[in-house]
Chain A
Amino acid sequence: MAGLTIRNLTKTFGTFTALKDVSIDVEEGEFLAVLGPSGCGKTTLLRMIAGFEGVTSGEISIDGRIVSSPDTDVPPSDRRIGIVFQNYALWPHMTVADNIGYSLKVAKVAGPERARRIAAALALVDMESFADRAPASLSGGQRQRVALARCLVAEPKLVLFDEPLANLDVHLRASMEDEFAAFHRRTGTTILYITHDQAEAMALADRITVMDHGRVMQIGTPEEIFHRPATGMVASFISQGMVLPATILAAEAEGQCPISVLGHEVNVRCGDGDGPRDGARVCVRGPDIVPAAVGAPGFDAKVRRVVYQGGTARIEVEADNGHGATMHFDRPDPQTHSAGDRIRLAFSGGWLIPPGDA
Chain B
Amino acid sequence: MAAGASGQGQRLALTAGVLGIIVIFSLLPMLRLLQEVVLPKGAFSLAAIRAGLGDPTAWVAARNSVIVGVGGTALAVTLGAFVAILVTMTDIRGTQILILCFVTPLMIAPQVTALAWLQVAGPSSPLLHLLGIAPPIGTPNPLYSPGGIVLLLGIQYAPLVFLILRAGLRKLPRELVEAAQATGARPLRVIFTIVLPLMTPSIVGAAALAFVSCVGNFGIPAFLGIPANYLVLPTLIFQRLAGGGPAVLSDVAYLSVLIGLIAMAGIVLQDRFAKRRDFRIATTSLGVEPYRLGRWRILATAGMWGLIVVILVLPMVGLILTSLVHGYGIRLSMETVTLDNYRFVLWDYAAARRAFANSLMLATTAAVFAVIVAIPLGYVMAWGKSGWIRWLNFAVELPYALPGVVLSIAALLMFLKPIPLTGIQIYNTVWIILFAYLARFLVLAVRPTVNSYAQLDRALEEAAEIAGAGLFTRLRTIVAPLVAPAAMAGGLLIFMTALSELTVSALLWSSGSETIGVIIFAFEQGGDSKYAAALSAVVVAITFALMLSVNLFARHLPDGVLPWRD
Q: Point out residues on A near B: beta carbons under 8 Å.
A: 50-53, 73, 75-83, 85-89, 91-93, 102-103, 106-107, 134-136, 150, 154, 156
Q: Which of A77, A87, A136 contacts B183 (CB 8 A)?
A: A77
Check if A93 sits within 8 Å of B179, measured CB to CB.
Answer: no
Residues from chain A with a CB closer than 8 A to the CB of B292 are 73
Which chain B positions have C-beta within 8 A of A156? 182
Partner among B173, B179, B278, B289 whose Cβ is within 8 Å of the Cβ of A83: B179
CA distance A150 to B178 in the complex (A): 13
Asked whether B175 lies within 8 Å of A85 as measured between CB atoms, the reply is: yes
- A106 near B182: Cβ-Cβ < 8 Å: no
Q: Among B193-201, B257-265, B415-423, which stretch is in contact with chain A?
A: B193-201
Interface status of B41 (Cβ within 8 A of chain A): no
Nearest opposing residue in chain B for A156, CB measure: B182
Smallest CB-CB separation from B189: which chain A residue? A106
Contact with A along B168-190 (1 / 0, CB 8 A): 00000111101111111110010
16 A-B residue pairings within 8 Å (CB atoms): A52-B289, A53-B289, A77-B182, A88-B175, A89-B173, A89-B175, A89-B176, A91-B176, A93-B197, A93-B198, A102-B180, A103-B183, A106-B183, A136-B282, A154-B183, A154-B184
Q: Which 9 A-B pairs have the closest CB atoms?
A: A103-B183, A89-B175, A76-B181, A87-B283, A89-B179, A85-B175, A106-B185, A93-B197, A77-B184
Q: How far is the CA of A134 from the CA of B178 in the complex (A)?
A: 20
Complex Cα spacing A220 to B281, Å: 39
Residues in B with CB closer than 8 Å to A135 are: 278
Residues of the B chain whose Cβ atoms lie less than 8 Å from the Cβ of A82: 182
Shortest C-beta distance, A161 to chain B (Å), equals 12
Q: Which residue of A lies closest to B174 (CB)?
A: A52
Known contacts A85-B175, A87-B173, A106-B189; is A93 also within 8 Å of B278 by CB?
A: yes
Determine whether the beta carbon of A92 is less than 8 Å from that of B185.
no
**CB <8 Å contact, B283 and A83:** no
Residue-wise, chain B 271-293 has the 8 Å CB interface mask toward A (1 for contact) of 00000011111110100010010
Give 16 new A-B contacts, CB below 8 A, not counting A89-B283, A134-B278. A50-B178, A53-B289, A75-B181, A82-B182, A83-B182, A85-B175, A89-B173, A89-B178, A91-B179, A91-B194, A93-B198, A93-B200, A93-B277, A102-B180, A103-B184, A107-B183
Task: Please give, as numbers and ranges, the residues of chain B lying within 8 Å of A154 by CB-CB distance.
Answer: 183-184
A53 CA / B181 CA spacing, docked (Å): 13
Interface string of B305-320 (1 = CB under 8 A from A): 0000000000000000
Q: Which of A77, A92, A150 contacts B282 (CB 8 A)?
A: A92
CA distance A265 to B81 in the complex (A): 74
Q: Identify the interface centre among A52, A73, A89, A136: most chain B CB within 10 Å of its CB.
A: A89
- Considering the chains assembled together, what is the distance between the CA atoms of A51 and B289 in angstroms? 11
Select one of A80, A83, A93 contacting B178, CB under 8 A. A83
Min CB distance, B545 to chain A, in Å? Answer: 34
Q: B235 → chain A, closest Cβ, in Å?
A: 41
CB of B278 within 8 A of CB of A87, answer: no
> Which of A53, A76, A92 is B281 in contact with, Cβ under 8 Å?
A92
Which residues does chain A contribute within 8 Å of B282, judged by CB atoms?
92, 136
Chain B residue with Cβ nearest A143:
B282
B184 close to A106 (CB less than 8 A): yes
Question: How many A-B contacts are there with CB distance less than 8 Å?
Answer: 83
Residue from B173, B185, B200 within 8 A of A102 (CB atoms): B185
Within the assembled complex, what's the spacing in Å between the Cα atoms of A132 and B179? Answer: 20
Residues in B whose Cβ lies below 8 Å from that of A106: 183-185, 189
CA distance A31 to B83 in the complex (A): 43
Q: Which residues of A contact B176 (CB under 8 A)?
A: 89, 91
CB of A173, distance to nearest CB on chain B (Å) = 19
- With contacts A91-B176, A93-B278 taken as known, whether A50 is within 8 angstroms of B283 at the C-beta atoms is no
* Most chain B CB inside 10 Å of its own CB: which residue of A75, A83, A92, A93: A93
Question: Which residues of B are found within 8 Å of A102, using beta-carbon distances?
Answer: 180, 183, 185, 193
Measured between beta carbons, the chain B residues less than 8 angstroms from A76 are 178, 181-182
Complex CA gap A51/B179 in Å reads 12
Residues of A near B279 (CB, < 8 A) are 92-93
Bound: A93/B281 CA distance, A: 9
Q: How far is the CA of A135 from the CA of B279 in the complex (A)?
A: 11
A78 / chain B contacts, CB cutoff of 8 Å = 184
Expressed in whole angstroms, the Cα–Cα distance for A52 and B277 within the complex equals 30
CB nearest to B281 among chain A residues = A92
Q: Taking the nearest CB of chain B, how far is it from the CB of A185, in angstroms?
A: 23
> Which chain B residue shows the least CB distance to A147?
B179
Rounded to whole angstroms, the CA-CA distance of A87 and B172 in the bound complex is 13
CB-CB under 8 A from B280, the residues of chain A are 92, 136
Which A residue's beta carbon lies closest to that of B283?
A87
> Quick one: closest B residue to A104, CB to CB?
B183
State the CA gap A135–B292 with chains docked (Å). 30
Least CB distance, A113 to chain B, in whole angstroms = 16
**A329-B173 Cα distance, complex, nearest whole Å:** 43
Distance in angstroms from A278 CB to nearest chain B CB is 45
Which chain B residues border A80 with CB–CB below 8 Å?
Answer: 184
A86–B180 CA distance with the chains assembled, in angstroms: 15
Instruction: Judge whether B278 and A79 touch: CB under 8 Å.
Output: no
Instruction: Give the residue name and chain of the B residue nearest to A94 (CB).
Output: B197
Chain B residues with CB under 8 Å of A134's CB are 278
B294 to chain A, nearest CB (A): 9
C-alpha gap A107/B185 in the complex (Å) = 8
Contact of A81 among B175, B180, B182, B186 (CB under 8 A): B182
Instruction: Tell me the bound Cα distance from A86 to B465 in angstroms.
Output: 40
Contacts of B197 in A (CB 8 A): 91, 93
Looking across the interface, which residue of chain A has its beta carbon closest to that of B175? A89
| A102–B181 CA distance with the chains assembled, in angstroms | 11
Residues of B near A77 (CB, < 8 A) are 181-186
Q: Closest B-chain residue to A106, C-beta based?
A: B185
Decide: A87 and B182 in contact? CB cutoff 8 A: no
Q: Name, among A82, A88, A106, the residue most crowded by chain B CB atoms within 10 Å (CB to CB).
A: A106
Q: Which of A77, A79, A87, A150 has most B Cβ within 10 Å? A: A77
Residue pair B182, A50 in contact (C-beta under 8 Å): yes
Report how far A78 CA is from B280 CA in the complex, Å. 29
Verify B173–A136 contact, CB threshold 8 A: no
Tell me whether A136 and B278 are in contact in the complex, defined as CB-CB below 8 angstroms, given that A77-B182, A91-B198 are known contacts.
yes
Q: Is the CB of B183 within 8 A of A79?
A: no
Contact with A52, one of B178, B189, B278 (Cβ below 8 angstroms): B178
With the chains together, A52 CA to B177 CA distance in Å? 11
For A73, the chain B residues whose CB sits under 8 A away are 292
Q: Once the chains are docked, how many angstroms separate the CA of A50 from the CA of B289?
A: 13
For B182, list chain A residues within 8 Å (CB). 50, 76-77, 79, 81-83, 156
Q: How far is the CA of A106 from the CA of B182 in the complex (A)?
A: 11
Cα–Cα, bound, A79→B176 (Å): 17
CA distance A162 to B257 in the complex (A): 56
B290 to chain A, nearest CB (A): 11
Q: How far is the CA of A51 from the CA of B187 in the complex (A)?
A: 14
Residue of B nearest to A75 (CB): B181
Chain A residue with minimal CB distance to B284?
A87
CB A136 to nearest CB in B, in angstroms, measures 5
B444 CB, nearest partner CB in chain A, Å = 32
Residues from chain A with Cβ under 8 Å of B175 in the complex: 85-89
Find chain A residues with CB under 8 A from B185 CB: 77, 102-103, 106
CA distance A154 to B181 in the complex (A): 13
Q: How far is the CA of A262 from the CA of B243 in the complex (A)?
A: 104
For A73, give the chain B residue with the smallest CB separation.
B292
B296 CB, min distance to chain A CBs, angstroms: 13
Kindly report which residue of chain B lies nearest to residue A99, judged by CB atoms. B179
A79 to B197, CA, bound (A): 25
On chain B, the residues within 8 Å of A75 by CB distance are 181
- Interchain nearest-CB distance for A154 vs B (Å): 6
Closest to B196 in A: A93
How close is B509's CB to chain A, nearest CB, in angstroms?
A: 49
Distance, CA A83 to CA B174, complexed state (A): 13
Chain A nearest CB: distance from B418 CB in Å? 57
Q: What residues of chain B lie closer than 8 Å to A93, measured between beta carbons?
A: 197-198, 200, 277-279
Min C-beta distance of B194 to chain A, whole Å: 6
Question: What residues of A have a CB within 8 angstroms of the CB of B283 in the complex?
Answer: 87-89
Q: Which of A76, A78, A154 has the most CB of B within 10 A?
A: A76
